[in-house]
Amino acid sequence: MMRLLIVWFLVVVAKVTAVNVTYDHRALIIDGRPRVLVSGSIHYPRSTPDMWPGLIQKSKEGGLDVIETYIFWNLHEPVRNQNLKTPIARSFKRNEDKYDFEGRKDLIKFVKLVANAGLYVHLRIGPYISAEWNYGGFPLWLHFIPGIVFRTDNEPFKAEMKRFVAKIVGMMKEENLYASQGGPIILSQIENEYGNIDSPYGPAAKSYIKWAANMATSLDTGVPWVMCQQRDAPDPIIDTCNAFYCDGFKPNAENKPTMWTENWTGWFLLFGEAAPYRPVEDIAFAVTRFYQRGGTFQNYYMYHGGTNFGRTTGGPFIATSYDYNAPLDEYGMANNQLVFVYLITYGSSDPFHTSCNKSVYIMQGHRDNLNGDANVNFNGNSYHLPAWSVSILSDCKNLVFNTAKINSMATIRRFVATSVGHDLSDSMAISSKWSYVSEPVGISSNDAFNRPGLVEQINTTADQSDYLWYSISIDVKGAEPFLHGGFQTTLHVKSLGHVLHLFVNGQLEGSANGNMFTHGFTKDFSVVLKPGKNKLDLLSLTVGLQHFGAFFDKAGAGVTGPVKLEGLTNGSTVDLSSQRWTYQIGLKGESLGLNTGGSSLWVSGSPKSQPLTWYKTNFDAPAGDNPIAIDFTGMGKGEAWVNGQSIGRYWPSYIAPTGGCSVCSYKGPYNFTKCLKNCGKPSQNLYHVPRSWLKPSANVLVMFEEIGGDPTQISFKTQELESLCSQVSESHPLPMEAWSQDDPTRKSNPMAKPRVLLECPDPNQVISSIKFASFGTPQGKCGSFSHGYCKSSNALSITQKACIGSRTCNIEVSSSTFGDPCVGVVKSLAVEASCA
């Protein structure tokens, strides 16, 4: 009886919690209610499972309703049971279909954690995902299926795409994860931004999209499907917008809601480039206008960007950090963009009516005249309205917020050097005890093979390694005068990319690389040859396979030629392109598994500036809980592993151009070259080491260095909170707490007096000092506040008294607290504090 009751109870619970998700022209409708939803992207493999609960919780606190993720096909199905053969060298010896959903790939766990936090999920299956991810998410074996053409009306491709999409949908159904089953998934996406690149595919593009839509809907998930950037998305698929601004966007049918599935809180970092960021005021402006004009779903891409561990970056040349200037930084810590989501949630409480008999009224500043700040009279009051901004009034009277004057709590976090290990008291170096193995130059493997002519790299390596050796010997007649200076012989090399290191007779002669937009390069290396036999070894490498564009899979890589010796004294040019070359896929160290630290080949010492060297050391985990990074300053280029797990490619020697970092105004249309930082500096010198990969001691760090570096210079850094700031104007009645339609406990009283709220993020810390406090007309931003022409004399002492020694403090921003230093002027309180 008891057992029966329990079973009955479970069945009823499952039925009761099933949720009906549909849509109309205004919004997604969840159980009969149209919903305004704020979404944010978190990609599960770009962090570690122990970080997921914190990321999800912080997203919820930031006001998100939905978490969006792509599905990463090439992580989940790295191998396939087919006797596939690359045209050049390898055949894939695979025994069984093998899916991988372990660890960082544990999609089900991720979706369940989001559900536990009470948030919804948007599952962007693709399976083409772009995402700055290797090969756009496609497994490399797909490339070797006879007759396949990606992303078009091609039977072999459609069969594989359908199989994988059905696999994912089936897994979700089995776990009851669709809303229709009582789970968190309210939306799924099929394909991805295909409309941006479909014209080269001709009429087949249209039939492919029809097929994809039918295939998806036939899987019967019970929740709507979307296609982004797809004007011809067939019914019932909703077409959605991805861009920096979507306020002009309308879907392709009257009965579909206006949804913004991606626009960009920042932009991704490239090796060799400065770091892009997007001013918060501009994001707030874009998002508010979108809701104002009828948008009801928008997704911050990214809410947490994270890290491209291993060799997962696309591009080529996407950096290992995928911070994306997102509200949660690469390490999962909140930065200063977080708070404005609250405000947006408030502002969008009733997006369907902005007339004055409703609670919200929206005013917009000049878009065209960027110097045209305005004073607007409305409903008997006057409002200052800066250009490129939007103001929201509650009750047609009270200014709730203006996107250009975001009242927010901001933090400054900084990486500080930390010493590890007891034997290093006077040094910040990771270790004084290194060992190394020299990687042989050129061919060292029994699997090496000969071919006439130059081979394409991806067809050859099948991306099993970044590295491919091209080796050849040439005979030089002894009498050549070019041996003795004065005469410059050059090796002319044309490569499809991405990076090349040239070795002549075992010595590194030079390197060359392309960039994300022109992957390939042509380079004339000066070479010095000797009489008799000379060995030329070209180490060609990929830095992430291309992830976007029509026919991106056909771009190719490697030294496809021509390769010529020029400037010989007898006046001739020797074209080596069609001669017989010897090839080796990957490094000897890779085949020996040196990345795990194993093998008996390690020799004590740490030779500096020696190319092609494996380095190893042991270290203790830095103390505390703060996020950890390795500062690779001093190294050249390579890949690093901690306890056998790849933390990614490192390349601190690649310096961003010096220009382009001038002051950037939030006013005017944003694009990814407008606002840059770190010009003239390494694009990336800090690399995330997840805490969960470390033991307290005896951790193993291995690096493979390609061009030469000094491992004794690298150091651990931990991320510390340097400052906590808040600035609130007395004219802003909205306190910091979130307001949400669904959770009345989060609702604040809009008429409450404005207050500055400070809280140390670490519950074990208290506010230890007030670095700055000013009530009046303070200027600047967190880290660089200064007093304005008007200031009260007691702001610092009042703030110190209210805050020091407590984790949280909360001060009313008004003349009744501080006195009135300038009657008739709207004043604000700015505070910068530190925690300890």
**Please, which residue, 536 or 758, has the CB nearer to ligand NAG?**
536
Candidate list 68, 193, 639, 832, residue with the active-site label: 193
CB of 747 to ligand NAG, least distance (A): 21
Q: Does 812 bind ligand NAG (CB under 6 A)?
A: no
DSSP 253: S
Contact 156, 147 (CB under 8 A): yes
Residue 621 one-letter amino acid: A
**Please, which residue, 456 or 631, has the CB nearer to ligand NAG?**
456
Candidate list 77, 132, 262, 590, residue with the active-site label: 262
**Please, which residue, 451 or 787, has the CB nearer to ligand NAG?**
451
Site residues (CB under 6 A) for ligand NAG, limited to 758-787: none
CB of 123 to ligand NAG, least distance (A): 20
**Please, which residue, 310 or 558, has the CB nearer to ligand NAG?**
558
Q: Strand ranges (DSSP E) for 27-183?
A: 28-30, 33-35, 37-42, 66-70, 120-126
Cis peptide bond prior to 302, omega within 30° of 0: yes
Stretch that binds ligand NAG, among 34-42, 421-429, 474-482, 827-835 (CB under 6 A): 474-482
Contact 730, 828 (CB under 8 A): yes
**Please, which residue, 91 or 692, has the CB nearer to ligand NAG?**
91
Cis peptide bond prior to 43, omega within 30° of 0: no
DSSP 663: -
Stretch that binds ligand NAG, among 71-79, 251-259, 381-389, 669-677 (CB under 6 A): 669-677
CB of 365 to ligand NAG, least distance (A): 18
- The 10 Å Cβ neighbour count of residue 486 is 6
Q: Tokens 């049971």 appear where?
A: 81
Angle among Cα 822, 823, 826 to the nearest 5 degrees reads: 80
CB of 29 to ligand NAG, least distance (A): 5
**Sign, CA torsion 685/691/692/694:** positive
For 269, phi then psi, to 5°, come to: -95, 140
Count how many residues are written for the chain.
836
Residues 51 and 420: their CA atoms lie apart, in Å, by 23
Stretch that binds ligand NAG, among 208-216, 378-386, 566-574, 682-690 (CB under 6 A): 566-574
Q: Is 262 a catalytic residue?
A: yes
Contact 510, 502 (CB under 8 A): yes
Residues 768 and 807: their CA atoms lie apart, in Å, by 9
CB of 59 to ligand NAG, least distance (A): 23
Q: 537 pairs with which residues across the strands?
A: 471, 503
CB of 224 to ligand NAG, least distance (A): 11
Stretch that binds ligand NAG, among 293-301, 437-445, 565-573, 582-590 (CB under 6 A): 565-573
For 677, phi then psi, to 5°, come to: -130, 170
CB of 378 to ligand NAG, least distance (A): 14
- How many residues lie near ligand NAG (CB under 6 A)? 28
* Alpha-carbon distance values, 376 to 364, 365, 368, 384, 386 (Å): 10, 9, 17, 6, 10
Phi-psi region of 506 (alpha: psi -120 to 50; beta: other; left: phi over 0): left
Q: Does 357 bind ligand NAG (CB under 6 A)?
A: yes
Phi-psi region of 478 (alpha: psi -120 to 50; beta: other; left: phi over 0): alpha
**Please, which residue, 29 or 215, has the CB nearer to ligand NAG?**
29
Q: Does 20 bind ligand NAG (CB under 6 A)?
A: yes
Stretch that binds ligand NAG, among 57-65, 670-678, 685-693, 723-731 (CB under 6 A): 670-678
Q: Strand ranges (DSSP E) for 516-572?
A: 521-527, 532-541, 563-566
Q: Based on C-alpha coordinates, what's the Rg of the chain?
A: 29
Q: Does 477 bind ligand NAG (CB under 6 A)?
A: yes
Q: Does 674 bind ligand NAG (CB under 6 A)?
A: yes
DSSP 669: -
CB of 587 to ligand NAG, least distance (A): 22
Stretch that binds ligand NAG, among 121-129, 412-420, 452-460, 487-495 (CB under 6 A): 452-460
**End-to-end Cα distance, the chain:** 58
**Please, which residue, 86 or 723, has the CB nearer to ligand NAG?**
86
CB of 473 to ligand NAG, least distance (A): 12
Binding characters for ligand NAG, 499-538, by CB under 6 A (x = yes): ----------------------------------------
CB of 32 to ligand NAG, least distance (A): 5
Among the listed residues 148, 574, 655, 804, the single contact to ligand NAG using CB under 6 A: 574
**Please, which residue, 574 or 822, has the CB nearer to ligand NAG?**
574
**Sign, CA torsion 61/67/72/77:** positive
Sheet with 699-705, strands from edge to edge, namely 603-604, 435-438, 613-619, 699-705, 638-642, 645-650
**Please, which residue, 29 or 253, has the CB nearer to ligand NAG?**
29
Binding characters for ligand NAG, 223-252, by CB under 6 A (x = yes): -------------------xxxx-------
Among the listed residues 568, 700, 790, 796, the single contact to ligand NAG using CB under 6 A: 568
Among the listed residues 25, 26, 29, 535, the single contact to ligand NAG using CB under 6 A: 29
Q: What secondary structure does DSSP assign to 290-354, as a single string? A: HHHTT--EEEEEEEE--B--TT-B-TTTB-SB--TT-SB-TTS-B-TTTTHHHHHHHHTSSTT--
CB of 50 to ligand NAG, least distance (A): 32
Site residues (CB under 6 A) for ligand NAG, limited to 134-153: none
**Please, which residue, 534 or 618, has the CB nearer to ligand NAG?**
534
Angle among Cα 770, 775, 776 to the nearest 5 degrees reads: 145
Cis peptide bond prior to 236, omega within 30° of 0: yes
- 3-state DSSP call for residue 86? coil
Contact 338, 568 (CB under 8 A): no
Binding characters for ligand NAG, 81-100, by CB under 6 A (x = yes): ------x-------------
* Distance of alpha carbon 833 from the chain centroid: 30
Stretch that binds ligand NAG, among 266-274, 314-322, 455-463, 822-830 (CB under 6 A): 455-463
Q: Is 254 a catalytic residue?
A: no
Binding characters for ligand NAG, 479-498, by CB under 6 A (x = yes): -x------------------
CB of 674 to ligand NAG, least distance (A): 4
**Please, which residue, 215 or 356, has the CB nearer to ligand NAG?**
356
Stretch that binds ligand NAG, among 210-218, 451-459, 505-513, 748-756 (CB under 6 A): 451-459
- The 10 Å Cβ neighbour count of residue 806 is 13
Angle among Cα 344, 345, 351 to the nearest 5 degrees reads: 90
**Please, which residue, 160 or 262, has the CB nearer to ligand NAG?**
262
Contact 261, 246 (CB under 8 A): no
CB of 474 to ligand NAG, least distance (A): 7
Q: Does 608 bind ligand NAG (CB under 6 A)?
A: no
**Please, which residue, 241 or 798, has the CB nearer to ligand NAG?**
241
Q: Tokens 């001013």 appear where?
A: 279
* Distance of alpha carbon 41 from the chain centroid: 10
The residues annotated with a catalytic role in the active site are: 193, 262
| Residues of the shown chain interacting with ligand NAG in the complex, contacts defined by CB under 6 A | 20, 22, 29, 32, 87, 196, 242-245, 355, 357, 456, 458-459, 476-477, 480, 554, 556, 568, 570, 572, 574, 668, 671, 673-674
